[in-house]
């Protein structure tokens, strides 16, 4: 696919995902414990994509959204804007970090059986190309490398529709038993 065709595909796919989420009742918020009980991580992420579970507020704060999940993989799309700038006049490093923490974390989440949770214990980030408010949509793709009983590791990349790399990251997540709720 040409970069222009990829860009068109990304824009259309993201609009379709958003429309599906909204049609299913999706809105920013926090899932109630009883709504996620008994679901695997993949089922939770799929329910979010279907609008059956709320999506997190951070997606609106930083203008990115979940696009697709499969076992061991999560794809997000975000568009850098002026409101994401640092005082230096460039996109804040935290924007790339948040997008990649989301992508690699959710990739790990897709591997969690019901009753198991995870949290980021370490995130290592390289920002190798500056994006701007003129760049347009970028995608963060997270992939699991290892998923054990206590540790999970994953890697992720932020790329443009032309394939240019903007940032890459690795994470170490702690995997644990979710506490039983009364």
Ligand X SMILES: CC(C)(COP(=O)(O)OP(=O)(O)OC[C@H]1O[C@@H](n2cnc3c(N)ncnc32)[C@H](O)[C@@H]1OP(=O)(O)O)[C@@H](O)C(=O)NCCC(=O)NCCSC(=O)Cc1ccccc1
93 binds ligand X (CB under 6 A): yes
User: What binding mask, one character per residue, do residues 126-145 give for ligand X by CB under 6 A, x or -?
Assistant: -xxxx---------------
Choose the binding region for ligand X from 11-19, 22-30, 60-68, 85-93 (rule: CB under 6 A): 85-93
Smallest distance from ligand X to CB 163, Å: 12
> Is residue 88 a contact residue for ligand X (CB under 6 A)?
yes
CA dist 112 → 9, 87, 144, 149 (Å): 30, 39, 11, 10
CA 150/CA 60 separation, integer angstroms: 31
Supply 124's token pair: 């290592």
Q: Using alpha carbons only, how large is the chain's radius of gyration in Å?
A: 16
Within residues 156-175, the interface with ligand X by CB under 6 A covers: none
In the complex with ligand X, the residue whose CB is nearer, 167 or 173, is 167
Q: Three-state SS for 175?
A: strand
Query: How near is the Cβ of 78 to ligand X at its closest, in Å?
Result: 14
Report d(CA 67, CA 60) in Å as an integer.
14
Residues between 102 and 131 that touch ligand X (CB under 6 A): 127-130
Residue 81 makes contact with ligand X by CB under 6 A? no
CB of 91 to ligand X, least distance (A): 6
In whole angstroms, give the CA distance from residue 147 to residue 175. 9
What is the nearest approach in angstroms of ligand X to the Cβ of residue 97? 9
Task: Quickly list DSSP for 136-155.
Answer: --EEEEEEEEEE-SSEEEEE
Give SS3 for 51: coil
Judged by beta carbon, residue 121 or residue 130, the one nearer ligand X is 130
Residues near ligand X, by CB under 6 A: 86-88, 90, 92-93, 127-130
């Amino acid at each position: 696919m040409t970069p222009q065709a990829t860009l068109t595909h990304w824009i259309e796919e993201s609009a379709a995902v958003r429309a599906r989420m909204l049609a299913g009742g999706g809105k920013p918020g926090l899932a109630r414990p009883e709504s996620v009980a008994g679901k695997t991580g993949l089922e939770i992420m799929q329910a979010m994509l279907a609008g059956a579970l709320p999506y997190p507020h951070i997606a609106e704060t930083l203008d990115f959204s979940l696009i697709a999940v499969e076992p061991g993989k999560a794809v997000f799309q975000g568009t850098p804007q002026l409101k994401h700038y640092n005082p230096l006049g460039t996109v804040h490093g935290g924007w790339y970090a948040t997008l990649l923490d989301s992508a690699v974390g959710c990739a790990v989440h897709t591997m969690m059986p019901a009753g198991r949770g995870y949290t980021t214990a370490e995130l290592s980030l390289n920002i190798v190309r500056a994006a701007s408010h003129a760049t347009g949509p970028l995608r963060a793709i997270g992939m699991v490398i290892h998923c054990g009983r206590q540790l999970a590791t994953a890697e992720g990349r932020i790329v443009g529709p032309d394939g240019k790399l903007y940032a890459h990251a690795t994470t170490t997540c702690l995997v644990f038993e979710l506490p039983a709720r009364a």
